[in-house]
Structure 1
Amino acid sequence: MKAIILFGHGARDPRWREPFDRLASLWQMQHPDILVELAFLEMMQPSLEQAVASLVAKGANELTIVPVFFGQGGHLRNDFPLLLEECRVKFPNVQLRATSAVGDDDAVLQAIVDFGARAL
């Protein structure tokens, strides 16, 4: 069973996660047959490992992790690969793959340009 993890940075202010919660809800509404979980690098729960464990408990065995970051900074270049490898070791029977940061995608960047244009 396939599933997706939307992976964000995390923040101290709980309101910061509200768009992530909306994003996960939108995913679930548009793709009801594919499980979705949020995960955060720091300061918020669930962690990547907790999200993987949750999805595995629901029967998922092919997980795609989407870093909801605008660029490939130190967290994605250094911290994320270590977390991903820890999950691969802990869940050896689960296929874990990751996409690039959402900000690397031209369609995402175009959506931001379109948003700005609508604001004018």
Structure 2
Amino acid sequence: MKKQALILFAHGARAASWAEPFERLQQLTQEQLPDVRVVLAFLELMTPQLPELLAEFSAKGITEVSIVPVFLGQGAHVKSDLPLLVEQARGQYPEMGIKTVEAVGEQPEVLGAIARYCVASL
């Protein structure tokens, strides 16, 4: 049986309160995927960071990991930093299938929801 995990990958910040909406997103996502481990990982300034989380997953026998960048756009962190981290992890954990998808802000459904929120603010 495949052991799956979903990582919501965010930037991180010095202020702990910055992570609150991401923690709510993690909880909402976990509720929809009760058989999948859904966790947050951060690029910097907060923990867990992606390399340590993937090491933990490997130790626990997780074989499939999907990474969703919770960024509005495909900037340098998503285009450069994340692929480098994933490439290194694939070398360290060849038994683990690791895939990434586009940043959430690139998705029409997400942009539509943000636009509806902006329109409703009038």
What band does the TM-score fall into relative to the shorter chain? over 0.9
Deviation at 1:20, TM superposition (A): 0.9
**Structure 1 segments unaligned to the other structure (5+ residues):** none
Deviation at 1:94, TM superposition (A): 0.1
Q: Among residues 105, 108, 111, which one is paired with 1:109 in the alignment?
A: 111
**Structure 2 equivalent of residue 32 of structure 1:** 34
Within a 5 Å distance, the mapping from 1:1-120 to structure 2 comes to 1-120=3-122
The alignment partner of 2:44 has SS state of: coil
The alignment partner of 1:42 has SS state of: coil
User: After TM superposition, where is structure 1 displaced by more than 6 Å over at least 4 residues in a row?
Assistant: none
Deviation at 1:35, TM superposition (A): 0.8
Give the Cα–Cα distance (whole angstroms) in 2 for the partners of residues 86 and 106 of structure 1.
31
Q: If the length of structure 2 is used for normalisation, what is the TM-score?
A: 0.92
The alignment partner of 1:79 has SS state of: helix
Give the Cα–Cα distance (whole angstroms) in 1 for the partners of residues 105 and 85 of structure 2.
20
- The amino acid of 1:27's aligned partner reads T
Q: If the length of structure 1 is used for normalisation, what is the TM-score?
A: 0.93
**Structure 2 segments unaligned to the other structure (5+ residues):** none
Asked if the contact 1:37/1:55 (under 8 Å) is kept, the reply is no
Worse-superposed segment, 79-88 or 49-58: 49-58
The alignment partner of 2:29 has SS state of: helix
Deviation at 1:53, TM superposition (A): 2.5
The alignment partner of 2:98 has SS state of: strand
Equivalenced residue count is 120
**CA RMSD, aligned part only?**
1.2
Sequence identity of aligned pairs in percent?
47
The alignment partner of 2:12 has SS state of: coil
Deviation at 1:46, TM superposition (A): 0.6
Asked if the contact 1:5/1:51 (under 8 Å) is kept, the reply is no
